Amino acid sequence: MPPRTSTAQRRLLKEYQQLKRDSPEEGPKDTPYENGVFPARLTFPNDYPLSPPKLVFEPAILHPNIYANGEVCISILHPPGDDPHQYERAEERWSPVQNVEKILLSVMSMLSEPNVESGANIDACKLWRDNRKGFEAQVRSDVRKSLGL
C-alpha cells in the first residue's frame, strides 16, 4: 500500500502546480532589482499551513528587509497572532489562508518598497537611507552577477 500523502503535502503540490502555470516575473520593474533572478529556498514546517515557511535567498541579496544570511523578514512570514512587539497587526502576519503565491507577491512588493523602519539588515537600511544611489548601484551590480553578466 503506498504511503499516505499528508494534507500539507497535497496542498504544497497544488500550490507548486499553480506556480508552474503562472509563476511571478523576475525582479520588479522600475526597481534596482529589475530583471534579477534570485535563487531562494522555502522551508516548510511540519505543521504547514498552520505555521509559516521560512524564505532564504541563496546567496543573500542586499535589501533592508533581508538579513545578511539571506533570510527574508516580512510580516506574512511571521507566526500567526499578535505581535509581541506590537509593530504588526495580527492580520498582516501569517495565517493558514496564505499560500506560496501570496508570499512571492509580498516579496516582490518588499523589493519595490523596503520597510526601513523595521529593517533586518541595518547596513542595508543605512545605505538605502543615506546613499540611495550607492545602494541602487550595488543592487544593480548584484543583478548583473545573478544573470551571469
Asked if residues 37 and 26 have their Cβ atoms less than 8 Å apart, the reply is yes
Asked if residues 105 and 24 have their Cβ atoms less than 8 Å apart, the reply is yes
C-alpha to C-alpha distance for 33 and 61, rounded to whole angstroms? 10
Of the candidates 62, 73, 77, 139, the residue annotated as catalytic is 73
DSSP one-letter string for 24-84: --SS-TTSTTTT----EEEE--TTTTTS--EEEESS----TTB-TTSBB--GGGSPSS--T
Catalytic residue flag (residue 73): yes
Cell of 39: 535563487
Active centre residues (catalytic): 73
